[in-house]
Amino acid sequence: MSRMSKQEKSWVFYDWANSAYSILITTAVFPLYFKAAASSAGLSGATSTAYWGYANSFATLLVSICAPILGSIADFKGFKKRFFTFFFALGIIFTLMLAAVPSSHWLILLLCYMLTVIGFGGTSIFYDAFLVDVTTEERMNKISSNGFAMGYIGSTIPFILGIALIILSQQHILPFSVTVASQLAFAITALWWGLFTIPMLRNVKQIYYKERVPNPVSNGFKQLVKTVKKIKLYRPLFLFLLAYFFYIDGVNTIITMSTAYGTDLGIDSTSLLIILFVTQVVAAPFAVIYGKLADKYQGKIMLLVGIFVYIIICTYAYFLKTVLDFWILAMLVASSQGGIQALSRSYFAKLVPKENANEFFGFYSIFYKFAAILGPFLVGFTAQMTGNTNSGVFSLIVLFIIGAFILLRVPESNNIQKSNTFSQ
């Protein structure tokens, strides 16, 4: 940390800040809290799961559709920080609302959650795009990897606090219910997210931009149309996005379905939470290692290494039988999960024209969000056809092979002329 500039440190700390949301709201606590609230209101498990799926899909779709449009507008001077702050405030306020709304009001809880998803997703677009403003191309691998490492480390602290409150309340050691303990976990998430975002808000500025025009909104739309029409000019960039779509779909599917794999093996929920915790801890140093190796051997080489590790993971998953097997699989995931995500971000940041970074990171967000569709379908279809969950996981190997094949065709050096000619 001492060797990073104030701007770089401030940017990295946002990964530390928003990690609390990722693990407590998206993954660990709120999904169970919502299911319990919906059940108490008389909804069947299938119905509440359907509503949960609809809410996530709609909120994600909304962010994805708006991403390139907002990004195009944010490329004008002064807009990037404003958009970041708006979505950050939206996420914080409605995460606090999750703690304030009574658990009996399941529909209001779900609406608040959708707004947190929009807030979190919106800030991520502009946060990623700020990478071009806080550091040089030579340091992007290091800074992006440090961000993911800090995120993994930072996520463990509020995670431990939140889970401890819930477990202690279950054991009647604390003088309040599990519901109150969960609400306190949501409040901790919001406070953690807000407190550690202050350096980002204070110290990170938009350096690369286009000068303002009289009608930035309409001009933003026009620029977006121009970009789509000139897509051939950005062939290396969109070729990378296509590769990213396939391999990140495989990565995300393994992350989101890991709990189901463990449950099928008969691992209890407490053990799964411990494995999740250890995975976060192990992933942190490996993210940094990937960044260092990328500076030595080039980013694309290390992305291909990460993809190869995931091909091994898919193959190993086919033979998964014991709890020990699941631990080994989790550690393999931890070894490359953060690295492949961090280097994807920095590799893309090197390809984009800096004055149009927000617009292009809007497309990056679309490819990331829509990459959550094919993988789960492939796993489900294969598992249903074969009657074997392990076969479903093994089928993801196709996504990694396609992703690697396309990535090999992306130039290592940036052949795009990064200048204001892109906006003309």
Domain-located, residue 132:
yes
Q: Specify whether the CB–CB gap between 213 and 366 falls below 8 A.
A: no
Domain-located, residue 93:
yes
The three-point CA angle 355-115-248 to 5° equals: 55
Residue 412 has a pLDDT of: 62
Give the CA count within 13 Å in the CB-facing half-sphere of 70.
25
Domain count, the chain: 1
Domain-located, residue 227:
yes
Domain-located, residue 53:
yes
Q: Which amino acid is at 152?
A: Y
pLDDT for 140-187, tens place per residue? Answer: 888 989 988 888 888 889 988 988 998 898 888 989 888 999 999 999
Q: Specify whether the CB–CB gap between 200 and 6 falls below 8 A.
A: no
Residue 223 has a pLDDT of: 67
- Structural domain containing residue 92: 6-208+217-423
Residue 416 has a pLDDT of: 44
Residues 109-113, mean pLDDT to the nearest whole number = 93
Domain-located, residue 94:
yes
Residue among 407, 250, 228 at smallest CA distance from 313: 250
pLDDT for 292-330, tens place per residue? Answer: 998 888 889 999 999 999 999 989 888 887 888 888 888
Domain-located, residue 305:
yes
CA distance 147 to 136: 15
- 211 contacts: CB under 8 Å, gap ≥ 6: 76, 77
Give CA separation, 60 vs 4, 109, 118, 120, 171, in Å.
33, 17, 7, 10, 37
Domain-located, residue 1:
no
CATH number, domain of 339, equals 1.20.1250.20
225-228 contact pairs (CB < 8 A, 24+) = 226/423, 227/68, 227/72, 227/356, 227/359, 227/422
How confident is residue 414, by pLDDT bands cut at 50, 70 and 90? very low
